[in-house]
Amino acid sequence: MALNVIMLGPPGAGKGTQAARLARARGIPKISTGDMLRDAVKAGSEIGLRAKAIMNRGELVSDEVMIGIVRERLDRPDAEQGFILDGFPRTVAQAMALDRLMETRDPLTVVDIVVAEEELVRRLVSRVVCEDCGTNAEGVNSADIGATRCARCGGRLRQRSDDSEAVVSERLKVYRRDTQPLVDYYRGRQTFRTIDGARPPDAVAADIAAAVEATRSAGATNGVVG
């Protein structure tokens, strides 16, 4: 049975890092919204060209276009044995459309990583990323900039411009307003699991792996109850 995972959680919860770890461990692709948009634009497909035109105008890509991009990405051969979605869906409308795409596939496992807001703010204002590949530098904080390079590509490290405390607080407010309803949408499913993201990364990874195994036997009806 293919392993199909959605990774939910607010900014700073570690969902990108944990999605990448799980993808490597399972040999399936980690697919983020940014990855999908870049791939679609690079491929020059009809939907990719539509997305490029929208982004060039400085507008947000609509749910309709994003769903088309997701459909194209999940139809690629490397996703046949499963995938991990990071950053999609972002709205209940996108989640409902994804359910329709999944009708002929194995069930979705939904992992929601939960971290207290005070800890999220602390993490985000001290977060360091690579200038070249965009990877979060685990175990590195702003005091280490200049003395440490990216472990993945050797690039220079920097703080993100949107990781100031005021901007972080606004991002968390937007998450609660726009993305938190997704948790309510998925919560009643047998394949939904909540993970304590305040624990050390290795412990969180172990909890996610255990949750994934538990949900695989629970997903007899594509993860939907009722």
Active site residue 171: yes
Q: Is position 160 annotated as part of the catalytic site? A: yes
Q: Which of 21, 30, 50, 171 is catalytic?
A: 171
Q: Which of 119, 106, 99, 108 is nearest to 199 (CA)?
A: 119
Q: Strand runs (DSSP E) across the chain, as ranges?
A: 3-8, 30-32, 82-86, 108-114, 129-130, 157-158, 192-196
**Residue 90 annotated to the active site:** yes
Of 105, 160, 199, 216, catalytic:
160
- The tokens describing 206, both together, are 């172990």
Neighbours of 146 (CB within 10 A): 9
Give the whole-angstrom CA distance, residue 184 versus residue 91: 11
The CA distance from 31 to 85, in Å, is 5
Q: Distance between the two ends of the chain, CA-based, in angstroms?
A: 22
C-alpha span between 171 and 55 (Å, rounded): 21
Q: Pick the catalytic residue: 30, 127, 189, 193?
A: 127
Q: What are the percentages of helix, strand and coil residues in the chain, rounded to 5?
A: 50, 15, 35
For residues 98 and 67, the answer to whether their CB atoms sit within 8 Å is yes
Q: Write down the catalytic residue from 15, 21, 73, 193.
A: 15
| Beta partners for residue 145, in sequence order | 148
Two tokens, residue 69: 């991009």
Active-site annotation holder among 90, 149, 158, 199: 90
Active site (catalytic) residues: 15, 90, 127, 160, 171
